[in-house]
Amino acid sequence: MTLQQLATAGIRGWYATFASAGSEVASFGSAQSVLTALRPERSLLNAAVYDDPRDVPLDELAAFFEPVEAWCLWVQPGHEDLVAMCEARGMAIDGTPMMMGAQLADVDIAPRDVPAEIGPATWAELAAINEPAYGMPADHFGVVLRQLSTDGYQLAVARRDGMALACGGAHVANGNAHVVFVASLPTARRQGLAAECMRTVLRAAAADGCTTTTLEASGAGEPIYVAMGYDSIGRYRMMEARCGNV
């Protein structure tokens, strides 16, 4: 597989796990879709990913997502015709995260000394950190994540004086560790805590036999991941449809 194919498989595998939290997962053409009725307004949790840009039936996807207020299609780098098809339907770019990947042996996962204790995490802790980190209201992700199975996941949290400050996770499947939910509380940034949580889950993934790793990065996160050894593949266009605009 190319890194782009690995990254696509990684995000597909991550979304598929949301079935354990009550989300509906369905396939249309080469696209896999997840519908999360608990958060009908959140397109990140109502989304589709695909393998072949020539086999993405947008009409069928729109019909599947009719019960929710917003959904998005993760359009891969270089698939300009699909972007144009989405725009013709009134869909708009909601985000442009960087698709990234690497051979795990090329990533710096050596442990660091940080001012916190790194240990196993719960989904409730990851939600409680990611929500304020990304400016979301309390329990926005938590209502879904608390129901998500931990099967196939490595989760880590940084605690100091009993308080969870930063976290990171990875979904492990088919020899790949797909990194998710890396975040720090606003008051705990620039201390290396989230990065050490990420290195911790990647070391565990390597011990489980993983040889590759993939993720989606924000603009702020990309240079950190490049420094760790990840390659930037290209930007997704998260083409969003909201109720009334398609």
Q: What is the pLDDT of residues 215-224, one digit of tens each?
A: 999 998 999 9
Q: What is the pLDDT of residues 127-185, one digit of tens each?
A: 999 999 999 998 888 999 999 999 999 999 999 999 999 999 999 999 999 999 999 99
Domain locations in the chain? 3-97+235-242, 102-234
- Cα gap 81→101, rounded to integer Å: 24
Identify which of 162, 159, 152, 164 has the alpha carbon closest to the alpha carbon of residue 201: 152
Predicted confidence (pLDDT) at residue 246 exceeds the cutoff of 60: no
> What is the average per-residue pLDDT within 52-58?
98
Identify which of 3, 24, 21, 206 has the alpha carbon closest to the alpha carbon of residue 100: 3
Q: Residue 1 — very low, low, confident or very high, per pLDDT cuts 50/70/90?
A: confident
> What is the average per-residue pLDDT within 69-74?
98
Percent of the chain's residues with pLDDT above 90: 95
Weakest mean pLDDT among 11-25, 128-142, 188-202 = 128-142
Q: Residue 194 in contact with residue 167, Cβ under 8 Å?
A: yes
> What is the average per-residue pLDDT within 31-54?
97
Q: What is the pLDDT of residue 12?
A: 97
- At the second CATH level, the architecture of 102-234 is 3-Layer(aba) Sandwich (3.40)
Q: Residue 57 — very low, low, confident or very high, per pLDDT cuts 50/70/90?
A: very high
> What is the average per-residue pLDDT within 89-110?
98
* Residues 6+ away with beta carbon under 8 Å from 72: 43, 44, 46, 47, 48, 94, 238, 239, 240, 241
Predicted confidence (pLDDT) at residue 245 exceeds the cutoff of 70: no
